[in-house]
């Protein structure tokens, strides 16, 4: 092998290290969010990932940045599920909600750590990665639900705004922990509440 052939391999190695370190940091922030959310710091995340703090800061400038990357990775799982599903209409919506609750069971403690001062629509219009991925996950299922309950497709963006409120991770976890409702009951009641909100939104307009 010549030096010219070996050089590209040498350049690829840092990219492999980068991917590995990213995975470690995301795994670490997810674990710490579940185990010790009050002690979630960049130093703690780096230590759990077995990466030096200086190295961790080369990838993320703050623990909120690591959390945002973690949340994005979870939302992308939901988006990929939605786009790959063969279901349509109301069954697709029901399947997506079910998948969302499954993801919250595994990743919820990390998802509720992030809070924004800006609203859903402002972040959507600004192209926020997490919100855009959420839109891509929910758009087709919500469009199918609108058709199923006889609500105009033209209110899709408002419907997505309402879905962001009603299927908020923090509130779903609160219902599951504090009410004694089963997982299936929580999903059924939130879905009915969402359908009612959609119909009410149209009537008010």
Quote the DSSP letter at residue 37.
G
Are residues 29 and 63 in contact, defined by beta-carbon separation less than 8 angstroms?
Answer: yes
For residue range 21-61, what is the model confidence (pLDDT) as tens digits? 999 999 999 999 999 988 899 999 999 999 999 999 999 99
Which sign, positive or negative, has the C-alpha torsion 144, 147, 153, 158? negative
Q: In this predicted structure, what is the pLDDT of residue 17?
A: 86
Does pLDDT of 161 surpass 50?
A: yes
CATH fold label, 1-61: Arc Repressor Mutant, subunit A (1.10.10)
* Domain ranges for the chain: 1-61, 64-204
Structure tokens at 69: 């990357």
Does pLDDT of 1 surpass 60?
A: no
Q: How high does pLDDT run on average in the chain?
A: 91
CA angle 183, 66, 118 (to 5 degrees): 75
Structure tokens at 154: 């033209």
Stretch 51-80: mean pLDDT: 95
For residues 190 and 70, what is the distance between their CA atoms, to the nearest angstrom? Answer: 25
Q: In this predicted structure, what is the pLDDT of residue 18?
A: 87
For residues 69 and 75, what is the distance between their CA atoms, to the nearest angstrom? Answer: 10
The pLDDT > 90 percentage for the chain reads: 82
The pLDDT > 70 percentage for the chain reads: 93
Are residues 198 and 161 in contact, defined by beta-carbon separation less than 8 angstroms?
Answer: no
Dmax (CA) of the chain: 73
For residue range 102-156, what is the model confidence (pLDDT) as tens digits? 999 999 999 988 778 999 999 999 999 999 999 999 999 999 999 999 999 899 9
- At residue 2 the predicted structure's pLDDT band, cuts being 50, 70 and 90, is very low
pLDDT, greater one: 57 or 17: 57
């Amino acid at each position: 092998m010549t030096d010219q052939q070996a050089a590209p391999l040498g350049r690829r190695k840092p990219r492999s290290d980068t991917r590995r370190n990213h995975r470690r940091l995301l795994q670490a922030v997810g674990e710490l969010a579940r185990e010790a959310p009050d002690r979630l710091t960049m130093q703690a995340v780096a230590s759990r990932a077995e990466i030096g703090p200086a190295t961790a800061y080369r990838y993320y400038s703050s623990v909120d940045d690591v959390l945002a990357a973690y949340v994005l990775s979870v939302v992308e799982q939901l988006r990929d599920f939605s786009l790959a599903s063969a279901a349509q209409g109301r069954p697709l919506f029901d399947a997506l909600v079910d998948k969302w609750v499954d993801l919250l069971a595994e990743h919820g403690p990390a998802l509720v750590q992030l809070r924004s001062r800006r609203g859903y629509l402002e972040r959507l219009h600004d192209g926020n990665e997490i919100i855009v991925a959420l839109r891509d996950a929910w758009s087709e299922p919500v469009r199918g639900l609108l058709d199923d309950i006889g609500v105009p497709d033209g209110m899709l963006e408002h419907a997505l705004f309402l879905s962001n409120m009603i299927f908020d991770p923090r509130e779903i976890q609160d219902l599951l922990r504090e009410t004694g409702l089963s997982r299936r009951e929580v999903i059924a009641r939130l879905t009915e509440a969402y359908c009612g909100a959609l119909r009410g939104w149209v009537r008010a307009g």
